[in-house]
Amino acid sequence: MCPKLPLLLVFFLYYAITSLGSDPDPVQDFCIPSTGIAACKNSSAATVEDFVFSGIKFQGKFSETGLAATSVNVNIFPGLNTLGMSFVRADFEVGGINMPHFHPRATEIAFVLEGKIYSGFVDTENRIFAKVIEKGEVMVFPKGLLHFQMNVGDMPATILGSFDSQNPGLVRIPNAVFGSGIEEKLLEKAFGLNSKEIAKLRKRFAPH
């Protein structure tokens, strides 16, 4: 066997994994999705409006957890297509939370625009990295790791988040566990809950 073959194999596998794990590099300046047969709108037909999104000028509708999050991904802002990035605005009422969740396809950087946010993530060894971050501070959440936020200040707070994927994905832990139809007996054994408690959680986190 060629002595360099194992090294070449490792290099190939690393390249394949990293390539598959991120958005592909664009092969043109931009690609505004077309409603016709072509994958992209003719570049000569693009206008500045294709690259501007005004949907986060104001806060969105608050949920029962005190969070109003407005995502800016390729599904609602086509100008992001092939550019490998997206954005979110998250507004918190006093005491509001962003429940534990993760993004399977992206690392996130969160910038505190206003307020004080208890913010953190948990790694694959169950170590927690968390602290209160304030206006002007930034925290990064590595790709695929569970993270969370809570407004611990005495006034509303706002975070702006940036992702290194045009469609980072979002998995909310309570919804994924109790709102997806996992077998009840498994949930009973995993969490030490009875059927009545599980039914209550399923009702709360079921898809609407």
- Strand 116-122 and strand 128-134: pairing? antiparallel
Q: Give per-10-residue mean pLDDT for the chain (208 aa).
A: 52 47 68 71 88 92 95 90 93 97 96 97 97 97 97 97 94 94 94 94 87
Other C-beta atoms lying within 10 Å of the C-beta of residue 127? 8
Positive or negative CA dihedral for 156, 154, 170, 172? Answer: negative
pLDDT of residue 206: 85
- 194 marked ligand binding residue: no
pLDDT of residue 1: 52
The answer to whether the CB of 167 falls within 8 A of the CB of 75 is yes
The answer to whether the CB of 84 falls within 8 A of the CB of 167 is no
- 208 marked ligand binding residue: no
- 73 marked ligand binding residue: no
N-terminal to C-terminal alpha carbon distance within the chain: 59
pLDDT of residue 65: 95
Tokens 């002595």 found at: 3
pLDDT of residue 6: 54
The CATH classification number of 57-169 equals: 2.60.120.10
CA 178 – CA 183 distance, rounded (Å):
10
pLDDT of residue 18: 46
pLDDT of residue 80: 92
pLDDT of residue 26: 64
Supply angle C-alpha 21, 23, 29, rounded to 5: 160
Positive or negative CA dihedral for 3, 5, 9, 11? Answer: positive
The answer to whether the CB of 125 falls within 8 A of the CB of 79 is no
> What are the extents of the domains in the chain?
57-169, 172-207
